[in-house]
Structure 1
């Protein structure tokens, strides 16, 4: 099995140098291609509506504000300006979400986004998303890329399908630096002892993003049937909390990132199929939980990576069998919510098959 031995180390090194690096090169090339198209569309959106200013920046080949969900799925974050007249309200009523409410009703006219404020004084994520979707649709129609760049129409999220192969979601967002949401107040777990106080301070100072995304909730009386529409107006107006940049700080250690890269490659090769509930974000979340179980740097040395990979896959099987995977920072948010039982059962079986190969065959990575 993969473990702390020379054979396993050689297998992991070869797999990383061949398969993982090949995946990274493919992703890098795809990012370069789709970013060029998205940048042109956002440039036209900004001409139509100067409040939507593109924040997609090419930083020596790395694009700030772009996240990779899979080799063919990307998300571009469009950071909006001015939320100073709003209070951030995180009361836990909508899992993983918060609202932005006018601090004083008289300040409505002072807001850059005045027409998107509801009668109750909330800045509506749904209204901003709807307006942005219209602008993107118009920009695509005028774009030289319109023959192979289409707007996905079965969602209120702004998603582009490029070359019938790539999906790029463009999400409006507000950056919340220097504050920490009440929903994440249980972090860090002081009993764990990870990370160290300096990193904790850095993470909390980094803060989080508020994203304008469709919000789905699971009715308690129908635990196996995902809802298709938000169940209340407030959910449509709410903003989803995103902790991606804080998570990346915690995973900045080279071998923690290396372990995550190997697991993403295994997921893309063996656990990515139609209707699969196993996302790379779930894998990333489980790596963070693995960090809490193994807090010392020496437990992430190259010779230990095999053990860490197996540990994460064991967690994955357990989550699928228990039908729950809590978000790392927002544990009340279940990343498997709404997924039908038969889909989770099938995913658990597929994950276990992969895990068994790694546990029973020290040379499994040669053929995976």
Structure 2
């Protein structure tokens, strides 16, 4: 089943996310009698949500009716000559036979504008961040060398490989996280019972092996390796290292947090997180991935991703930040950075993510910090499920994929729920203020509407 919006055709695929139209935009689905729209409250059911043929958007008093029938009527009314898509795309994109000339032109214009945006805005952002990373990593490396002198168990794993720093994540242009990989997890069993969404614990495989562990003083009486105790010790070591390192005049610890955070030159914040790398196993709480009814990413890629494994981070749990009991703070946070990056390797997926992150940095940096780049990454992964074919991720589809993610983001903000891609019981909007999410929903819809109705607006975004 197909339906059209803004001159582009979408297919109603079986997916873990419904395709919503925002209530705030007075959207109404019209078409055959059996046309149906999933209610906003029934979020995250699987299955197709629209069986109609047209979508009417009422924006600022203007009623815009789009879809295959509407497009044909508009062509007859204006009798416009077909536009050559090669004017906008190089090489010319290949479109389906059911797309009329104006629809092809609209797609091609948007693709052209997005590529221009990517070359001008995204590449500039990337270059600035790369320069910042080099500056930040010099300071962090110096601090970690001092830590290693004091405590050889905390060995710096921050190294540059193929112009990338292993273990470094960009949270925002001025905010970063460095993962410090620890050694010798061997005497512990990974326990993932789902009691804490997004978290797991490490328990001694045999009580008699307590003295054999490299981390013996951080093991609780119950036999668990405490993430909180390791983080507390590491925080003390980093504070001492900051006072001794060669950059001590330009770096200081961020106070009032149990996390290990550095503020560098009053401009950048870097969180350093001790972690264990877990390869060759897959957490039980992520066992439902991939859903059996969704063909993406395919069995070979699934095997690669699961072999890549995940990380266990010593940081505050998502759902309990600031109000954790002692037992809960002993848990480790699950992270799937390598697996997520592997899933986004092919097609225009990375370009999509770069554009989405740039749009967020420029237009969705709002009070209360409701959105970050990881929300964009998560929704892009869901978009991959909705559009499982590789042909859905060629250059000609770039505009459709960007619009799809932005509209889904509006829906998630309105529902005040954004499930983690691998851990659907974990809500990434947990603890976010309702007012901040509502403001983000309105701003995201303004952004999506601007791109949907006027591709040239990207010159100003």
Could you tell me which residue of structure 1 aligns to residue 199 of structure 2?
97
Match of 2:161 among 50, 53, 59: 59
Corresponding position of 2:459:
366
Tell me the residue number matched to 1:221: none
- Displacement of 1:60: 4.0
Q: Deviations over 1:151-178 (max 9, x none)?
A: 1111111011111111111000001000
Select the residue among 387, 403, 408 that pairs with 1:310.
Answer: 403
CA distance in 1, matches of 2:445, 2:429: 17
Alignment gaps of 5+ in structure 1 = 219-226
Which residue of the other structure, out of 346, 370, 373, is the alignment partner of 1:280?
Answer: 373
Secondary structure of the structure 2 residue equivalent to 1:150: strand
1:342 matched to 2:435: yes
Match of 1:157 among 223, 243, 259: 259
Alignment RMSD, CA only?
A: 1.2
- Matches of 2:314 and 2:185, distance apart in 1: 14
Structure 2 partner of 1:27: 129
Instruction: Say yes or no: does 1:242 pair with 2:307.
Output: no
What secondary structure is seen at the aligned counterpart in 2 of 1:326? coil
The higher-RCO structure (CA 8 Å, 6+ apart) is 1
* Worse-superposed segment, 114-123 or 335-344: 335-344
Question: d(CA) in 2 for partners of 1:167 and 1:82?
Answer: 29
2:225 aligned partner: 123
Distance (whole Å) between structure 1 residues aligned to residue 374 and residue 193 of structure 2? 25
TM-score, structure 2 as length reference: 0.76
Say which is worse superposed, 34-43 or 63-72, in terms of deviation.
Answer: 63-72
Whole-Å separation in 1 of the counterparts to 2:250 and 2:445: 39
- Partner Cα separation in structure 2 for residue 278 and residue 360 of structure 1: 24
1:135 aligns with 2:237: yes
* SS across alignment from 1:363: helix
Number of matched pairs: 359
CA contact (8 A) 2:366 2:440 kept: no
2:39 counterpart residue number: none
CA contact (8 A) 2:111 2:396 kept: yes
* Structure richer in helix, relative to its length: 1
Match of 1:196 in 2: 298
8 A Cα contact 1:267 1:280, kept in partner? yes
Q: Is the 1:216–1:228 Cα contact (8 Å) retained in structure 2? A: no
Shift of 1:199: 0.3
- The alignment partner of 2:266 has SS state of coil
Single out whichever of 124-133 and 62-71 deviates more from structure 2. Answer: 62-71
- Provide, for residues 26-77 of structure 1, a one-character-per-residue CA deviation record: whole Å limited to 9, x for no partner: 0100000000000010011001000000000012432111111111111111
TM-score (norm 1): 0.95
Mapped contact 2:368–2:432 kept (Cα < 8 A)? no
Query: Within 2, Cα distance between the matches of 1:268 and 1:340?
Result: 19
Once the two structures are TM-superposed, the CA of residue 254 in structure 1 deviates from its matched residue by 4.1
1:177 and 2:288 correspond: no
Moved over 3 A (4+): 1-4
2:349 maps to which residue? Answer: 256
Q: Any unmatched runs of 5+ in structure 2?
A: 1-5, 9-103
Write the distance in 2 (CA, Å) between the matches of 1:359 and 1:205.
39
- Of residues 222, 229, 251 in structure 1, which corresponds to 2:323? 229
CA contact (8 A) 1:2 1:358 kept: no
